[in-house]
Amino acid sequence: MRATQLTILLSLSFGATFASADSVELRGGGLVAGAVKRVPQERAPYIVVDVDEKIRVAIPESQIARVGESADLNEYRQRAAVVKDDADEHYELARWCKSAGLLAQYRHHLERVISVDTDHAKARAALFYVEDSGKWIRHADLQKMRGLVLVASEWRLPEEVAIREVQEEANVDSKRWTKEVDRLKKLVLRGGEKGNAAFAELAAINDANASYAMAEELLNSSKQPQNLRMFWIDKLATFGNLPALKVLVNLGINESDSVVREKALETLQKLSPSTAIASYLPMLRSNDNSVVNRAANALSYFPDPEIALKLVDALVTEHKFETPASQGTNVGFGGGGGGLSTGGKATVRIEKNQNPPVLAVLRAIEPDADFGYDQIQWRRYFAQRLSSYSGNMRRDP
């Protein structure tokens, strides 16, 4: 519990004599000074600090770092004895109390400020008031009036809190499934009756939170038997959620096993062609030509006429390769003499590549047209198609 969360007791009567001039240092930082009395309790013993005649503070012993004599309290009493009942004087004393770590006194004098001057903006702000429609209201109360709730020191909409709670619960379930799926997988790989039973358990899982664990298994399954990898794909297809789609998209372009890769792309065809296209299309602009061609191979499973112009742009791609400046010293001899040269300029090599996989997808989209790698001809062709057809570029069935 922080010092600002201490319970203030205004009218307690314990019938006991308090020690004088003590200070209580809190574990979380801060200082409360006054006469101290311990109140024993079996469960949560606490102390009461008699700050002055008007204010007492109860503090759980678990939050106390040290109790000792307070020089600051003596100075505070001297200052408080001469302070006038003036808003600015109380405000300055409040500031001094804060600097001395006397947080209870700090708040007490801020309250005195606004009792004398209700519109004292600095004191209101220090006490977390805000002005709303010409009236002062505590910030917390205003946020509650707006329908917000306080979560981890932030005010949020109840709907947002509910969504976050669901997400946190899903994360907990996902972590639980990570251990369980890994356990069952290991049994499956060992084989035998226990392996068959574990496989049946995996097949019976219908909790979507398990998809995160299964997607991770599939992503890191290169050393697993092919039939188990195919099982992961089929199982993720039953969920069809974001974790499933992300790992299938990844396999569709990065998987070295052609059987597994084709299975992933065929599954994407059924689940979400638009997700696959949106993922692979930007890869056609990669500076790595191998990525361009792998993306085109993946897009061959989704020959959508609406991506034709993007394919035309990728028929011939330009790739830049920079060689850093040399930092060495070269020795040269020629023309009857010798010489030394230090370093050299960075060089840029530009390489143009024709991409057969891209052309193959274009031919699949427009089997009646073939302009090879002539991008200008392809663009003219599609421009004419667009000008002569008022609908979209999809062929009528």
DSSP 37-75: EEE--SS--EEEEE-SSS-EEEEEGGGEEEEEE-HHHHH
Does 122 fall in a domain?
yes
Predicted confidence band at 130 (pLDDT cuts at 50, 70, 90)?
confident
Q: Residue 232: which domain range?
A: 158-271
- Quick one: pLDDT at residue 15? 34
Please give the Cα distance from 247 to 330 (Å, whole number).
50
Digit-coded pLDDT (tens) for 299-354: 999 999 999 999 999 999 998 888 776 655 555 544 445 555 555 677 888 889 99
Domain boundary among 107, 125, 146: 146
Digit-coded pLDDT (tens) for 205-225: 998 889 889 999 999 888 999
pLDDT of residue 231 exceeding 70: yes
pLDDT of residue 174 exceeding 80: no
Please give the residue that has the higher pLDDT: either 20 or 330. Answer: 330
Does 131 fall in a domain?
yes
Please give the Cα distance from 228 to 234 (Å, whole number).
10
Does 219 fall in a domain?
yes
Locus of tokens 């003596």: 74
Helix-strand-coil split of the chain, %, nearest 5: 55, 20, 25
Mean pLDDT calculated for residue range 375-386: 90
Please give the Cα distance from 126 to 117 (Å, whole number).
14
Question: CA-CA-CA-CA torsion for 121, 127, 132, 137, nearest 10 degrees?
Answer: -130
Digit-coded pLDDT (tens) for 88-124: 999 999 999 888 877 778 888 998 988 888 889 898 8
Does 34 fall in a domain?
yes
- Quick one: pLDDT at residue 133? 77
Digit-coded pLDDT (tens) for 175-191: 888 899 999 999 999 99
Does 289 fall in a domain?
no
Other CB atoms within 10 A of residue 185 CB: 21
- Quick one: pLDDT at residue 13? 33
202/74 same-domain check: no
Question: CA-CA-CA-CA torsion for 9, 14, 20, 26, nearest 10 degrees?
Answer: -40
Q: Taking Cα atoms as reference points, which of 218, 300, 209 lies closest to residue 251?
A: 218
Count of domains in the chain?
A: 2
165/140 same-domain check: no
- Quick one: pLDDT at residue 168? 60
Please give the Cα distance from 9 to 67 (Å, whole number).
19
Domain boundary among 226, 250, 271: 271
57/174 same-domain check: no
Encoding tokens for residue 26? 């809190």
66/95 same-domain check: yes
132/24 same-domain check: yes
Domain boundary among 242, 271, 300: 271
pLDDT of residue 54 exceeding 60: yes
Does 27 fall in a domain?
yes
Q: Taking Cα atoms as reference points, which of 219, 175, 184, 227 lies closest to residue 204?
A: 184
Asked if residues 36 and 10 have their Cβ atoms less than 8 Å apart, the reply is no
pLDDT of residue 166 exceeding 80: no
Asked if residues 31 and 72 have their Cβ atoms less than 8 Å apart, the reply is yes
- Quick one: pLDDT at residue 19? 41
Does 171 fall in a domain?
yes
Give the least confident one: 126-135, 266-275, 306-315.
126-135
Please give the Cα distance from 244 to 260 (Å, whole number).
15
Please give the Cα distance from 37 to 97 (Å, whole number).
22
**Secondary structure (DSSP) of 15-44:** --PPPSSEEEEETTS-EEEEEEEEE--SS-
132/267 same-domain check: no
Does 320 fall in a domain?
no
- Quick one: pLDDT at residue 67? 64
164/138 same-domain check: no
